[in-house]
Amino acid sequence: MTSHVFHKACLFPICMAALVCFSTTTFADDAVDYSRDIRPLLSNNCYHCHGPNEQDREGGFRLDQLESTLAEADSGEHPIVPGNLEKSEIIRRIMSTDPDEMMPPPESNKSLKPKEIEKIKQWVTEGAKWRDHWAYIPLEKSEVPTAIDANWGINPIDNFIAQRLDQSGLTPAAPANKTRLIRRITFDLTGLPATLAEVDAFLKDDSPTAYEKVVDRLLQSNHYGEHMARFWLDAARYGDTHGLHLDNYREMWLYRDWVVNAFNSNMPYDQFTTEQLAGDLIPDATEDQIIATGFNRCHVTTSEGGSIAEEVYVRNVVDRVVTTGTVFMGVSFECSRCHDHKYDPFTMNDFYSMFAYFNSMDGNPLDKNIKDPAPIYRQIPQAGRDEIAKLKTETETAQQAIKDYLAKIEYVEPEESTDAIANEPTEVVWIDDGLPEGAKGEGNSPWEWTEEKELVYSGSQASTRTATGLSQHFFTGAKTPLVIYEGDKLFTYVYLDPKNPPKEIMLQWNDGNWNHRAYWGGNLIDWGTDNSASRKRKGDLPELGKWVRLEVPASEVGLKVGAKINGWAFTQFDGTVYWDKAGIVTREGRPKEYRSLKSWIAEVKKSKPASIPKNISELIKKADDKQTEADLKKITSYFVENIFQDTKETFTPLQKTIKKNNERTAQITKASPTTLIFKETAEPKEAFILTRGEYDQKGDAVTRSTPESLLSFPEGAPNNRLGLAQWLLDPKHPLTSRVAVNRFWQQFFGTGIVKTSEDFGSQGEVPSHPELLDWMSKQFIDSDWDIKATMKQIAMSATYRQSSDITPELYKLDPENRLLARGPRYRLDAEMIRDQALHVSGLLSSSLGGPSVKPPQPDGLWLAVGYSGSNTVRFKPDTGSEKVHRRTLYTFIKRTSPPPQMTTFDAPSREACIVRRERTNTPMQALLLMNDPQYIESARGLGQRAILEGGEDTASRIDFIFRTCTARHPTTSEADELTQLLKDNRTTFEKNPEAATKLISIGESVANKDINPAELAAWTMLGNLMLNLDEVVSKN
Amino acid sequence: MDPRREYLQTITRRHFFQQGALGLGTAALASMLPERAQAATNGPQAVGGLPNLPHFAPKAKRAIYLFMAGAPCQMDMFDYKPTMNDWFDKDLPESIRNGQRLTTMTSGQKRFPIAPSKFKFKQHGKSGAWVSELLPNTAKMVDDLAIIKSLNTEAINHDPAITYITTGHQLPGRASLGSWLSYGLGSMNQDLPSFVVMTPKWSGRQQAQALYNRLWGSGFLASKYAGVSLRSKGDPILFLSNPDGVDAQTRRRMLDSLSKLNQNTFDQIGDPETQSRIAQYEMAFRMQTSVPGLTDITDEPKNILDMYGPDVTDPGSFASSCLLARRMVERDVRFVQIFHRGWDQHGDVAGSLPKQCKDIDQACWALVQDLKQRGMLEDTLVVWGGEFGRTVYSQGKLTKENYGRDHHPRCFTTWMAGGGIKPGMVHGETDEFSYNIVKDPVHIHDMNATILDRLGIDHKRLTYKVLGLDTRLTGVEDHGPVKELLL
């Protein structure tokens, strides 16, 4: 490809005379085209009662099938007789004014306009030429039209566009100038503006391949994948919380990063699709392929108290089916959930047969309000894997050493027992960095752990809770209970947040019931009886902001000698509390020192301590005469290794090493990120037609199958999600490629060739350039689904490179720019606007991937709506440039209260699949861009850069700031306006230096101290102006 | 008027007319909202709505919806069931439950013992409507209200139920009632949003149910139709205030340059969106003065403040939200929705419900009376209610003094007032257990259709094509306005 387009004039005057004004979908032409003009009218006005839905069909005919349309209806009339208006019953009916006869009937709230009736009449008169719905016809490579103007056009896309323009008497616009073009293409391929250096390099490059070099460079950038992923994540409904009810955190960002990487590595679209739909079913699936299946887990989930699991299960599966339909096929399956589709050829049976592919997930439909409801994948980072491997070797060595010693040591029973009891009381730790074995953690919301150093007393973690009112976390069911001996004391450590102290804290223990409570502070928790063992006051609240040890003699809370504690509760009223290391101080609980196997066995028989492994205690329990030699050997071996005082020195260090290594391994594992995945159950779950879509109204059982009306299932393909993907990606499938290509087109031009990119069915809009869409879709398949090649093809076209200037006449003719007689121009998306601000200010962090981040947002947004016990009820902004200045793609999305920086600019909440965003223009956007602290911080960064990098005088600095934001030099009048504004601002801030200091102190980063604050403030306001300019927030 | 505000408005207006003189395209004019000019002769004209709306002359120009999130106990407040006293601790007959599915919070209960309301009821007003002692002020105005005892829904859990009643569908993704109104009817003013939401604090159960932005979101409609939160802390409207160190003059100066440069862009490129953007910035600037004027209640006389009760001066209280709601509808905000939380009394009805009622009772009364004395009640619709009802049987421990109530979808009570609703009536009846409806059921879709009807909208004709379907607020089943309620 060449860029000769820059060198040639293309300024034909636009001839308007021959044009008739056209609506968005139907362009002016005299001939009636069934697909474009007639089918949409019939679909919208008639299919409801005379369409694919059999149950509701009236009159015994359907207008979506030619055969039935021409045949005799129940009435004996023929709906349509080609070429004969008189005999065509529908013509009579649509022209009737008799309410009993007219069509569509008055109660339908539908009506045909006179022009539309004329079109239908014309179509019948001309012989009622019929064609099946365009989107369901298999792709055939369209022929590329010959060029209308030999001087215009770079690739075949342009021939299609020029042909259509020519039909409407239009000609293409002149090419955009180079500065606009590089800004446009850099945004469209990376979501970021071009740097000044990039602009300069492009301007300097006069070679014919200058533009292509830019396109190639951008396609190689890692920011390309980030940008492409953003659109996909809207479709995949990716978010960082469950989305329903508690809306707790859920960890899913490995999937987000998978999408970014897939685009960056130019993974072919067929592979991209297959791995997301069925990565787990690919033989020897890789880690990445497993992570990709998160696509089917992104839907919102719930664990609302009272939820009925079966109902939630059905909702989850329905979401997967509907999303698959929309994203990959552009069809609205949802309608056929409750009845056969009224407009498109999908039956209820089709819907539930698709349901059957997605219903066999090996996991609970309820999310348990945890971040990692199964099935999940845990990705241990390489360093962790290395360490675990090292620990494993060490552990194996220790185990071997134990074995070797045991083989060498021959135990001899002493003649006299010398067993002794340790005298000093010891601390037995029960809870530290995790719960005792077997314990089931519960609470008003799940146990939360912090790893912040100053908030941990012992080990690496402390449990924590922030509450409004009464709240607690607890467990029961510990496998080895704490046995109470005389004089034992229970203890734990607590830290009360001085900024948000609780009113009361309480400890409770369970030995079968919870009636053992001690509390500190106010008496607000009314469990048990005050002033008794079931509610014992132990004093005022401990000192705030400090780790304090709490001790409670077991006897004071009614725990008698011999009681066995299996559960512990940490309770509070209001405030933020941290708890760490808990257990018991005991004299008797400590193991005895044994030197005699015999006496140990006697003791075990007597007291049956739970700490001894079951297999050993079973052996000991056996009657003496039943014990075999081998049994005895095992018992002895266990004794020597674990109990025998004389060999402790040998074994204890080895055991400690093993224990330590196991703990460290568990710790590394626990700290590693997880992501939700799809995993098939061993046996497929049965699926049924659900009457009216109700989860509890099971009808006939159905088996897996894909809608026959589109394409038959590929022979030999497995009948599971893998086969489903093969069906979708069969080159004969009429929708998959068209739908994907249309979305790529939409990314460049703001509107797809099919405007309703989510609906290619009967009720969707017809394509503006059907042949072009087909040609590109075929190309896409033939290129082995090469996404970058398709992106490049569009980017290289002369169509894309046109100037976006609009004349009033042209605007009137084609306000939405569907014919593309000009280049694209529209407001940038939310993410691009914020990323641009951070980029031009020099703040943007360029790092890729990782956990989602929380840049600042106004206080109280989450609290205003959040469930009191949710772990996302309080927003705590991140700090540090590496987190708050990341690309917006990485911003944490709480789905019930998404960031205003995104939603204000039409970003979806990610609660449901969205493949096309609205684009609005509102005062709320103006307020945000003018006043959001991050935009003020960016304005200051931009102003500061102008001063530091923009040369010595005001004129060159203004040129710098203007070019940085728009890529072009300002005109004289623009430069004058900015100079005057700067002057006025200087005066303002020089008079009020305090205001200047305030303004430049906003944000995470710190202003350069060498610059006079009034000067920097004046430039900050100039930066603020730049970031609000229409030209800057738009793609031009 | 505060002289500073007057000055700012003058310069804004001057700007506006200057822009107008430059000759805007029609598309830009449509979003420039020049209703002030029209308003001089004709009262507020809506701008930005659909061309064929309203479908008929509206009875209500605006509406205030007092949403009690969590589901109030109908039988402790409005739906008086005296015979239940004889049923204390007896099981709900299976014939009454009649297949109703239960939430998993009580489906494990071995018994469903009936908990009669412990609160005293009396008849009030000419209508003789029963109201419990928890609502002494609401009781005083029953002749202004239409009390509907037969509202019903299908959802039994909060998230789906509240999403259902506010957006017409149990799952996320649909447009909320207020956003439909903005989409259909447009905005009546150029200084404030058309649809405003408040989320005041509450005194009852603090472990309160969540709200979701989607309850006032725009779903499939454009985001500009979404409700705007009016906050009691920080900026009342997000990012309303200029940054520290920037005063109104400095902002105005920046906007002057911005308008000029944007006008240059328009002159060069010719995209009407640019002119629309100029207008949006001017509106933003106007909001910077009109919103503080709205939320500053120091100009309210003492007798008005007293009507709303002592909480009214506490920002973020329900009472203060009600007063702000009145101030907004006075300024031609079309729809105000207040979400008061804490109504989920699974336990401790005795302790928690009175606190909730105390939060709202006087302010509800004051709002209706205040609108009435200003002659605004007749064209302002006020709606009060939650997302479903509660069970007559106790969840958890039942004593004479205290009990809890689980979710119940088959019947619940709501009231409407003003805006073309018949005052002083009680509509619908439930059985003696307040469990099933025995007369005049009103589905939540019917209620929403009624609200739309009063605002001049035929609910079947206000549709938006979503995935090929003409989607509407009131679902696909056959529902419609409740004729008996209409004036």
Flag whether pLDDT at B28 surpasses 70: no
Confidence of residue A435 (pLDDT cuts 50, 70, 90): confident
Which of A842, A856, A846 lies closest to A886 in space, CA to CA?
A846
Over residues A457-462, mean pLDDT: 87
Query: Both tokens of residue B314?
Result: 């506490």
Residue in B closest to A805 by C-alpha: B269
Cβ–Cβ gap B244/A867 under 8 Å: no
Flag whether pLDDT at B73 surpasses 90: yes
Å between A924 CA and nearest CA of chain B:
7
Flag whether pLDDT at B321 surpasses 90: yes
Strands A564-565 and A448-450: unpaired
Over residues A623-632, mean pLDDT: 83
Q: Is A248 left (phi over 0), alpha (psi -120 to 50) or beta?
A: beta
Q: Maximum CA pair distance of chain A?
A: 121
Q: Tell me: the pLDDT tens digits for B346-403?
A: 989 999 999 999 999 999 999 999 999 999 999 999 999 999 999 999 998 899 999 9
Question: Residue A95: its pLDDT value, please?
Answer: 87
Which CATH number covers residue B64?
3.40.720
> How crowded is residue B455: how many other Cβ atoms within 10 Å of its Cβ?
27
Question: Residue A989: its pLDDT value, please?
Answer: 97
Question: Residue A426: its pLDDT value, please?
Answer: 79
How far apart are the C-alpha atoms of A646 and B166, rounded to whole Å?
Answer: 75
A59-63, A137-141, A189-193, B36-40: the lowest-pLDDT one: B36-40
A57-61, A220-224, A341-345, A952-956: the lowest-pLDDT one: A341-345
Between A442 and A910, where is the model more confident?
A: A910
Which of A849, A819, A838, A825 lies closest to A884 in space, CA to CA?
A838
CB of B389 within 8 A of CB of B409? yes
Q: Which residues of A touch B211 (CB under 8 A)?
A: 864-865, 896
Instruction: Give the A window 230-259 contacts with B, CB below 8 Å.
Output: 243-247
Cβ–Cβ gap B258/A469 under 8 Å: no
Q: Maximum CA pair distance of chain B?
A: 82
Flag whether pLDDT at A811 surpasses 80: yes
Over residues A497-525, mean pLDDT: 92
Question: Residue B477: its pLDDT value, please?
Answer: 87
Helix axes A770-782, A787-796, angle to 10 degrees: 140
Positive or negative, the CA dihedral A855, A858, A862, A865 is negative
Cβ–Cβ gap A762/B468 under 8 Å: yes
Query: Both tokens of residue B18?
Result: 């200057």
Domain membership flag for residue B230? no
Confidence of residue A505 (pLDDT cuts 50, 70, 90): very high
CB of B219 within 8 A of CB of B173? yes
CB of B427 within 8 A of CB of B443? no
CB of A834 within 8 A of CB of A928? no
Q: Containing domain of residue B125, as a range?
A: 57-212+315-485
Question: Residue A458: its pLDDT value, please?
Answer: 87
Flag whether pLDDT at B12 surpasses 60: no
DSSP A783: T
Q: What share of chain A is helix, strand, coil (3-state, %, to 5)?
A: 45, 10, 45
CB of A327 within 8 A of CB of A682? no
How far apart are the C-alpha atoms of A1015 and A881, rounded to whole Å?
Answer: 24
Which of B486, B351, B332 lies closest to B419 in space, CA to CA?
B486
- Residue A886 CB partners (closer than 8 Å, separation 6+): A844, A845, A847, A853, A855
Q: Give the CA dihedral A757, A763, A767, A773, nearest 10 degrees.
A: 60
Interface test with B, best of A111, A322, A906, A931 (most B CBs within 10 A): A931
Query: Both tokens of residue A641?
Result: 């290794």
Confidence of residue A712 (pLDDT cuts 50, 70, 90): very high
Whether A419 contacts chain B with CB within 8 A: no
Cβ–Cβ gap B237/A922 under 8 Å: no
Question: Residue A31: its pLDDT value, please?
Answer: 73
Q: Which residues of A touch B289 (CB under 8 A)?
A: none
Beta strands in A452-600 (DSSP E): 462-476, 482-483, 489-496, 504-510, 517-521, 536-539, 547-553, 564-565, 567-586
What DSSP letter does each residue of A914-932 carry, written as one string? -SS------HHHHHHHHH-
Residue in B closest to A44 by C-alpha: B468
Which of A20, A26, A827 lies closest to B272 in space, CA to CA?
A827
Flag whether pLDDT at A29 surpasses 60: no
How far apart are the C-alpha atoms of B339 and B197, rounded to whole Å?
Answer: 8
Question: Residue A322: its pLDDT value, please?
Answer: 95
Flag whether pLDDT at B24 surpasses 50: no
- Residue A614 CB partners (closer than 8 Å, separation 6+): none
HSE-up of A555 (CA within 13 Å, CB side)?
6
Query: Cα separations (Å) of B485 from A728, B95, B149, B335, B425?
Result: 53, 31, 12, 20, 8
Q: Tell me: the pLDDT tens digits for A746-798?
A: 999 999 999 999 999 988 899 999 999 999 999 999 999 999 999 999 999 99
Cβ–Cβ gap B101/A308 under 8 Å: yes
Would you give the end-to-end CA distance of chain B in angstroms? 38
How far apart are the C-alpha atoms of B445 and B413, rounded to whole Å?
Answer: 15
Percent of chain A whose predicted confidence (pLDDT) is above 70? 96
Cβ–Cβ gap A867/B461 under 8 Å: no
Percent of chain A whose predicted confidence (pLDDT) is above 90? 65
Count structural domains, chain B.
1
Q: Which residue has the tokens 């589901």?
A: B71
Question: Residue B473: its pLDDT value, please?
Answer: 96
Query: Both tokens of residue A367?
Result: 């999310």
How far apart are the C-alpha atoms of A48 and B470, rounded to whole Å?
Answer: 11
Question: Residue A792: its pLDDT value, please?
Answer: 98
A30-44, A597-611, A902-916, B365-379: the lowest-pLDDT one: A597-611
Q: Is A784 left (phi over 0), alpha (psi -120 to 50) or beta?
A: left
Cβ–Cβ gap A305/B217 under 8 Å: no
Which of B178, B216, B353, B351 lies closest to A864 in space, CA to CA?
B216
> What size, in residues, is chain A?
1036
**Domain range list for chain A:** 4-15+154-224+744-813, 34-132, 232-377+679-737, 380-401+648-672, 424-589, 931-1035
Cβ–Cβ gap B254/A808 under 8 Å: no
Whether A911 contacts chain B with CB within 8 A: yes
Over residues B246-269, mean pLDDT: 96
Flag whether pLDDT at A672 surpasses 90: yes
CB of A148 within 8 A of CB of A795? no
Question: Residue A30: its pLDDT value, please?
Answer: 60
Q: Which residues of B touch A336 (CB under 8 A)?
A: none
What is the average pLDDT value for chain A, to the nearest integer?
91
Question: Residue A25: its pLDDT value, please?
Answer: 41
Instruction: Classify residue A101 by burial, with Cβ atoms within 10 Å: 0-12, 13-18, 19+.
Output: exposed
Among the partner residues A865, A931, A977, nearest to B242 by beta-carbon distance: A931
Residue in B closest to A300 by C-alpha: B172
Over residues B466-481, mean pLDDT: 89
Domain membership flag for residue B287? no
Q: Is B74 left (phi over 0), alpha (psi -120 to 50) or beta?
A: alpha
Å between A116 CA and nearest CA of chain B:
19
Cβ–Cβ gap B271/A109 under 8 Å: no
> What size, in residues, is chain B?
487
- Bridge-partner residues for A539, per DSSP? A520
Cβ–Cβ gap B103/A807 under 8 Å: no
Question: Residue A23: its pLDDT value, please?
Answer: 39
**Global pTM value:** 0.82
Question: Residue A420: its pLDDT value, please?
Answer: 64
Between A825 and A32, where is the model more confident?
A: A825
On whether the A424-589 domain is CATH 2.60.120.260, my answer is yes
Cβ–Cβ gap A921/B264 under 8 Å: no
Question: Residue A20: its pLDDT value, please?
Answer: 31
Which of B101, B100, B146, B143 lies closest to B123 in space, CA to CA?
B143
A8-17, A118-127, A909-918: the lowest-pLDDT one: A8-17
Cβ–Cβ gap A246/B239 under 8 Å: no
How far apart are the C-alpha atoms of B238 and B228, rounded to whole Å?
Answer: 9
Whether A977 contacts chain B with CB within 8 A: yes
How far apart are the C-alpha atoms of B120 and A229, rounded to whole Å?
Answer: 61
Among the partner residues B240, B254, B277, nearest to A1021 by beta-carbon distance: B254
Domain membership flag for residue B236? no
Question: Residue B40: its pLDDT value, please?
Answer: 33
Flag whether pLDDT at B110 surpasses 90: no
Confidence of residue B44 (pLDDT cuts 50, 70, 90): low
Question: Residue B43: its pLDDT value, please?
Answer: 43
Å between B391 CA and nearest CA of chain A:
14
A130-139, A743-752, A797-806, A1017-1026: the lowest-pLDDT one: A130-139
For Cα atoms B333, B336, B339, give the angle at the middle one, nearest 5 degrees: 160
Flag whether pLDDT at A613 surpasses 90: no
- Residue A98 CB partners (closer than 8 Å, separation 6+): none
What is the average pLDDT value for chain B, to the nearest integer?
89
Q: Tell me: the pLDDT tens digits for A351-372?
A: 999 999 999 999 999 999 999 9
Q: Which residues of A touch B460 (CB under 8 A)?
A: 109
Over residues B242-246, mean pLDDT: 97
Three-class SS of residue A422? Answer: coil
What DSSP letter does each residue of A126-152 carry, written as one string? TT------GGGSPP-PPPPPPPSSTTS
Question: Residue A752: its pLDDT value, please?
Answer: 97
Confidence of residue A852 (pLDDT cuts 50, 70, 90): very high
DSSP A457: S
Confidence of residue A610 (pLDDT cuts 50, 70, 90): low
Cβ–Cβ gap A865/B212 under 8 Å: yes
A261-265, A646-650, A1027-1031: the lowest-pLDDT one: A646-650
How far apart are the C-alpha atoms of B411 and A28, rounded to whole Å?
Answer: 55
- Bridge-partner residues for A475, per DSSP? A441, A568
Q: Which residues of A touch B31 (CB under 8 A)?
A: 921
- Residue A694 CB partners (closer than 8 Å, separation 6+): none
Q: Give the CA dihedral B435, B439, B444, B445, nearest 10 degrees.
A: 150
Question: Residue A649: its pLDDT value, please?
Answer: 87
Q: Give the CA dihedral A856, A861, A866, A871, nearest 10 degrees.
A: 10
Question: Residue B397: its pLDDT value, please?
Answer: 86
Between A66 and B83, where is the model more confident?
A: B83
Confidence of residue A421 (pLDDT cuts 50, 70, 90): low
CB of B29 within 8 A of CB of B16? no
Domain membership flag for residue B327? yes
Strands B121-124 and B129-132: antiparallel
How far apart are the C-alpha atoms of A710 and A722, rounded to whole Å?
Answer: 18
Among the partner residues B157, B217, B250, nearest to A307 by beta-carbon distance: B157
Confidence of residue B10 (pLDDT cuts 50, 70, 90): very low
Q: Tell me: the pLDDT tens digits for A275-312?
A: 999 999 999 999 999 999 999 999 999 998 888 999 99
Whether A627 contacts chain B with CB within 8 A: no
Which of B208, B155, B175, B212 lies closest to B409 in space, CA to CA?
B155
Over residues A386-391, mean pLDDT: 96
Query: Both tokens of residue A798?
Result: 């002369």
Question: Residue B4: its pLDDT value, please?
Answer: 41
What distance lies between CA A796 and its chain's CA centroid? 31
Q: What share of chain B is helix, strand, coil (3-state, %, to 5)?
A: 40, 15, 45
Å between A294 CA and nearest CA of chain B:
20
CB of A491 within 8 A of CB of A450? no
Backbone angles phi, psi at A472, to 5 degrees: -160, 160
Over residues A85-113, mean pLDDT: 87
